[in-house]
Chain A
Amino acid sequence: MTTTEIHSESKGFLTSALITVARVLVSVFVPIVAFGILWAGFIFLRDSNAPQGVIAVVAILWGVGGVAMLFWVSDWVVNRTPLHVAKKLQPFVFVGPALAILAWYLFLPTVRSLYLSFFDAQSNNFVGLQNYVFAFTDPKMLESFVNNLMWIVLGTGGAVGFGLLIALLADRVKLEKAFKSLIFMPMAISFVGAGVIWRFVYAYKPMGEDQIGLLNAVVTFFGIEPQAWFTMSGWNNVFLIIILVWLQTGYAMVIISAALKGVPSSIIEAGRIDGAGEIRIIRSIVIPYIASTLVTVSTTIIIISLKIFDIVFTMTNGNYGTEVIASMQYKQMFRFLHYGRGSAIAIVLVLAVIPVMWYNLRQFGKREGF
């Protein structure tokens, strides 16, 4: 690394030039060889008829070995450069792959979606803003905007509200850990899994048959007619949102609970001495103190509500007036193969999420990398 300067003085100019040229050649050659090896592995994995076991082993070698090799080679190349350059390049050896993956899987597709959103169904003809006009005038789209708003207000309100309530209450009981674990458990279930579970809660059978749905079993026990929950327009959205609340309350509770532990008892005691009751203390001391946590949790759940798809898709498939933006996007894109409209709706969704995300990140930043 640092030998260049010493050698160039003791030996002649020619030697040092030769060494430099050789170094540049090696620096170019090694990455090319590395790339060639990776490419050969890729071609083999793509086209080979070898037994599956062999392919699996090669895939693991290629994947893990390839990453190790890429790192090793790029580190080696960076170390060939003069020290002050190497210092500047080194971080990118580590951060580079992440940036490259982000660019490839997130940035490029977004740009491409934006591009496609100005074209027709087969992406052949430029149609200007027509797809966006569709996105903001189609009755089903308007329905999904209203529904998404409902998801944001009720879903976020419900999850954060219950999370806060449970965190406050759990703080005061002996079995805090057990209670919190129970509430937190649904977090481990995927949205689709939750959909399957809740189908059994909301299942409907006509009067006179055995009610296999929990809710209808309860309702009929009290002598009321069984209800087809999903077909009640307006209310069916609430029934779906309850599932999100069930899933996300645990998350809100855990984060809020952690913040609660950080409220200094001295302030609370000071409040008590000044004669404040429990409610007053919570309202005027605890909540302002954990406000930034509440904001962070809320924005996270708002983003989830904006992007909500799985629950609607598994439960009602957007029927009976429960359509949301993401389900409309899926239908346009994959069922009707209208790439223009699908992309336009995706871009609208991205634009809706970005401000919330930005606000969320700023909150995270304020809290010193949470």
Chain B
Amino acid sequence: MKRVVLVLLIALLALPSMFAGGQADAQEPAAKTVHVFGAFVDEEARRFEEAIKPFEERTGIDVVYEGSKDFETLISVRVEGGNPPDIAGLPQPGLMVNFASQGKLVPMWDSLLDTVEANYAPVWKDLGSYNDVPYGVFHRVNAKSFVWYPKKAWARAGYEVPTTWNEMIALMDKMVANGHTPWSIGIEAGGATGWVGTDWVEDVMLRTVGPDVYDQWVNHEIPFNAPEVKEAFEIIGDIWLNPNYVYGGTNTILTQSYTDSPRTMFDNPPRSWMHRQGNFVTGFLPDAIQANLEEEVGVFPLPAINEEFGIPVLGGGDQFVVFNDRPEVREFMEFLATWESGEIWAARGGALFPYLNQDLNAYPNEIERSLAEALVNAKVFRFDASDLMPGQVGAGSFWTGIVDWVNGKPLDTMLAEVERSWP
């Protein structure tokens, strides 16, 4: 027995020293490597890697992308553990603010700042800034203020795209008169149930009171139960809580998952005729529809309510920030700030890019082209408010508040509760 233990001990001692040697050898060839850590995985990660291939071929720098579904927890752990990636793609501005306030991030250097100022609308630089110091570079973004509809069925029924909110209401009434149900809405999303509703509120807020009040709301300079917010909820309630307007009524809003809800538009005959969702919705549509997107699916921006603010666009996106300042890291960041880094992904589909000088023809179909156009031309672009609010509200009481309200809780009570929960 003792001999066995002895052999084990020797093996234990010997093995690590053997590979400790091998380890040093492996690191010897000094190929420059940039480690990027982000929240997107699988197909999206593959498309990102494709998109950055031209950079790797041109510079010989190896960019290693690693994605995780638990990104938000892991990035904090890695940064606190003193082991941050060179570059991270942060989906929530709050994370950037956290790291920036702790002094973990490398601020934009002059040449990168010049590139960003030339290639992006000012709003993107502001979204990537903390205390007026810019840190984050946006790459792929999403835009959410769109209404999708079954094109062929609309043509048969003779419906036309509304250009104002009142026209949209008139169209909804016309649909009801024809025995059609205008909207399909589903807010079920497992642990994140309710976020679809927050997008509606944000979109309506931008349309009724404009970006300035919206910013005050996000920063809690007006209370969550301010009259402006209440008005937005009431406008939505006029649609959501009217069983004639929404397929299946409130129970279906609550229990139908957001990925399933657009599908009812493509039943024959359609069970619903409109669906408000971001550019990523095409991925949830039935395969047969996806294969024939341009002919089957129509899209228009959620119309303006107050002409003064035009048609604002609500959206989000991952911003890339630098933790380790090295020449090759800087080079890659400057590449990310150019349209060249998005072109290949845009052509593959499923992604929008914010670059001012992008070539809209790169997008594979008319739908994505029109979304990108709306995004670039929007006079007002605002980041998803629930992602900017503190987690207690933005990923907590705002979500549950929507759920409770749809399930019958009085609006004033709900708004007061959300207001109380603001930390």
Interface residues, chain A, with chain B CB atoms under 8 Å away: 37, 40-41, 43-44, 47-50, 54, 58, 61-62, 65-66, 68-69, 72, 121, 139-140, 204, 206-207, 228, 230-231, 233, 313, 317-320, 331, 334-338
| A42, closest chain B residue (CB) | B16
Query: Residue on B with the closest CB to A226?
Result: B251
User: Do the beta carbons of A49 and B251 come within 8 Å of each other?
Assistant: no
Q: A206-B248, A335-B395, A337-B391 are in contact. Are A41 and B23 (CB under 8 A)?
A: no
List, in ascending order, chain B residues with CB within 8 A of A40's CB.
12-13, 16-17
Q: How far does the Cβ of A228 sit from chain B's closest Cβ, in whole Å?
A: 4
Q: How far is the CB of B385 from the nearest CB of chain A, in Å?
A: 17
Q: How far is the CB of B147 from chain A (nearest CB, A)?
A: 21
A33, chain B: closest CB distance, angstroms:
9
Q: Which residues of B contact A228 (CB under 8 A)?
A: 251-252, 254-255
Pick the contact of B16 from A58, A68, A336 — CB < 8 Å? A58
B391/A335 in contact, CB under 8 A = yes
Which of chain B's residues have a CB closer than 8 A to the CB of A37? Answer: 9, 12-13
A selection of 29 A-B contacts at a CB cut-off of 8 Å is A37-B9, A40-B16, A41-B12, A44-B16, A48-B16, A48-B19, A48-B20, A50-B22, A54-B15, A58-B12, A58-B16, A61-B15, A65-B5, A66-B12, A68-B5, A68-B8, A121-B423, A204-B251, A206-B248, A228-B251, A231-B250, A231-B254, A319-B400, A320-B403, A320-B407, A335-B191, A335-B396, A336-B395, A338-B423
For B249, the chain A residues whose CB sits under 8 A away are: 206
Closest to B7 in A: A65
- Contacts A50-B22, A204-B252 aside, 11 further interface pairs with beta carbons under 8 A come to A40-B12, A54-B15, A54-B19, A69-B8, A139-B417, A231-B251, A317-B190, A319-B400, A331-B396, A334-B73, A338-B392
Within 8 A of A (CB), among B395-410: 395-396, 400, 403-404, 407
Q: Which residues of B contact A (CB under 8 A)?
A: 5, 8-9, 11-13, 15-17, 19-20, 22-23, 26-27, 73, 190-191, 193-194, 247-252, 254-255, 390-392, 395-396, 400, 403-404, 407, 417, 423
CB–CB A50/B19 < 8 A: yes
Whether A231 contacts B255 in the complex (CB less than 8 A), given A121-B423, A319-B193, comes out as yes
Q: How far is the CB of A56 from chain B (nearest CB, A)?
A: 12
Known A-B contacts A44-B15, A44-B16; the reply to A69 vs B5 at CB < 8 A is yes
Judged by DSSP, the binding face of A is helix
Q: How far is the CA of A334 from the CA of B255 in the complex (A)?
A: 24
Are B251 and A206 touching (Cβ within 8 A)?
Answer: yes
Most chain B C-beta atoms within 10 Å of own C-beta, residue among A58, A231, A334:
A231
Say whether, besides A44-B19, A317-B190, A65 and B407 are in contact (CB < 8 Å). Answer: no
Q: Is the CB of B391 within 8 A of A336?
A: yes
Least CB separation from B76: chain A residue = A337
| Chain B residues closer than 8 Å to A335, beta-carbon distance | 191, 391, 395-396
| Residues of A contacting B417 in the complex (Cβ-Cβ under 8 angstroms) | 139
Closest residue of chain B to A54, judged by CB?
Answer: B19
Chain A residues near B22: list those with CB within 8 A: 49-50
Residues in B whose Cβ lies below 8 Å from that of A337: 391
Q: Is the CB of A230 within 8 A of B255?
A: yes
**B194 surroundings in chain A (CB, below 8 A):** 319
Contacts of A231 in B (CB 8 A): 250-251, 254-255, 407
Q: Quick check: A44 and B395 within 8 Å, CB to CB?
A: no
B250 neighbours in A (Cβ, 8 Å): 231
Complex CA gap A130/B68 in Å reads 35
Closest to A64 in B: B8
Bound-state CA distance A140–B418 (Å) is 11
Report the Cα distance A47→B404, complex, angstroms. Answer: 49
Q: In the complex, what residues of B have CB within 8 A of residue A72's CB? A: 5
B396: which of A58, A69, A233, A336 is its contact (CB, 8 Å)? A336
- The smallest C-beta distance from B175 to any residue of chain A, in angstroms, reads 17
**A336, B392: Cα distance in complex, Å:** 5
Chain A residue, CB-CB nearest to B5: A72
**Cα(A139)–Cα(B191), bound, Å:** 20
Which residues of chain A have C-beta atoms less than 8 A from B9's C-beta? 37, 65, 69
Are A317 and B391 in contact, CB atoms less than 8 angstroms apart? no
B255 near A58 with CB under 8 A, answer: no
From residue A8, how far is it (CB to closest CB) to chain B in Å? Answer: 28
Residue from B9, B249, B390 whose CB has the most chain A CB atoms within 10 Å: B9
CB distance from A336 to the nearest CB of B (A): 4
Find the A residue at minimum CB distance from B397.
Answer: A140
Q: Across the two chains, which residue of chain B brings its CB closest to A43?
A: B16
